[in-house]
Structure 1
Amino acid sequence: MPNGEQSRKIKQFCGCCRFVFNRALAWQNEQYQQDSRHKFSYSKIANLLPQWKKELIWLKECHSQVLQQSLKDLETAFKNFFQQRADFPKFKKKGVKESFRFPQGCKLEQNNNRIWLPKIGWVRYRNSREVVGEIKNVTVSQKCGRFFV
């Protein structure tokens, strides 16, 4: 149950991740057209991320690890394609399965029904079940105008 500012930031993070994913996929397609032997490399594309942040100032407002996880998702999509487990990766559309992932830095207060998301802050949530163990990563998704963690 995020407030207005938190909702805006969550939507912005979703948009930034979608943009980075689509831009990396377009870059990969260009590289492949120039040289058909070119293979996908996460490290090459991750090195382009700081350059993109300099070009597009609004990307700096998004947490860097969230953007890197978006590139990791693209890497997984290419691995699945090359191992013939999935089709060629497609560009992400706005409003369809929008989500992003924090690999670390999240804190959970179950007794107060709050979760800490970096660059967003403490967000209240409705607890459906108790979380047992340690949180490794947190995925925030939006479906039907509601947010899920």
Structure 2
Amino acid sequence: MKRLQAFRFELRPNFEQQRSMRRFAGACRFVYNKALSLQQTRHAEGAKHLSYAGMCAALMEWKAQPETDWLRETHSQVLQQSLKNLDHAYVNFFARRAGFPRFKRRGRHDGFRYPQGCKLEQHSDRIYLPRLGWCRYRNSRVVSGEIKNVTVSLSGAAWFVSIQTEREVADTVPLPGGAVVGIDLGIARFATMSDGHHVEPRWARRRSRPTCWPSRPPR
């Protein structure tokens, strides 16, 4: 059976990598909010809701416009992942599992996700992030399994990476060891074990005791 597991580490990026991470997070927030505004405008005009593919087509148009051509500096996969997050938010809203999607604010949940393309070198304590290069991290545990996606997030003044992996695990539950003893409940004998031993009921043990005690010998 397949098992998903997340491993979180603190990153140790250099100055240029930190600048790029902030730019990536800002671009993802911008794309998310712009797509959400577009969906709301279409809804007010009575137009059909855009699918994920439709929002990706709009993203290509934004990259071609002079005022938003700076989006091309950000990795395309993390921008598309931001649109996918918005699409999931709408799906949950239509299914009544969550409220209506809200606009993202700067400084709250800043980050971005790579759906693929990341590499991990645990022996050298570094991870490869597309468009950012190799980045050091504080290696505190062994990462097992195949990398499925990588999320980079900002918490306070530190950057963190969450690596989600998938691996095969056994789906059987081990049985406890030791001998097995059967018990047969009865009336004459309270319980008879499969090995021949038996336990008498409490009332039988009381009857086996003497009902009177011998008098004390005369002094």
Answer yes or no: same fold by TM over 0.5: yes
Secondary structure in structure 1 of the residue aligned to 2:154: strand
Secondary structure in structure 1 of the residue aligned to 2:108: coil
Structure 1 equivalent of residue 8 of structure 2: none
2:39 to 23, 28, 31: 28
Matched, 1:99 2:111: yes
Gaps of at least 5 residues in structure 1 are none
Structure 2 equivalent of residue 41 of structure 1: 51
* Higher mean displacement: 56-65 or 16-25: 56-65
Please, what is the CA RMSD of the aligned residues?
0.9
Q: State the identity %.
A: 53
Aligned positions of 1:71-82 closer than 5 A = 71-82=83-94
Matched, 1:10 2:18: no
* Higher mean displacement: 40-49 or 110-119: 40-49
Is contact 1:100-1:139 (8 Å) kept?
yes
Once the two structures are superposed, what CA deviation does each residue of 1:8-41 show, in whole Å capped at 9, x if it has no partner?
00010000000000000000000000016x2341
Letter in 1 for 2:72: K
Is contact 1:40-1:75 (8 Å) kept?
no
Secondary structure in structure 1 of the residue aligned to 2:152: strand
Structure 1 equivalent of residue 81 of structure 2: 69
Structure 1 equivalent of residue 156 of structure 2: 144
Report the Cα offset of residue 127 of structure 1. Answer: 1.5
Secondary structure in structure 1 of the residue aligned to 2:124: coil
Give the number of equivalent residue pairs.
148
Structure 2 equivalent of residue 53 of structure 1: 63
1:114 to 126, 136, 161: 126
Report the Cα offset of residue 126 of structure 1. Answer: 0.4
Gaps of at least 5 residues in structure 2 are 1-11, 162-219
Report the Cα offset of residue 54 of structure 1. Answer: 1.3
TM-score by length of 2: 0.66
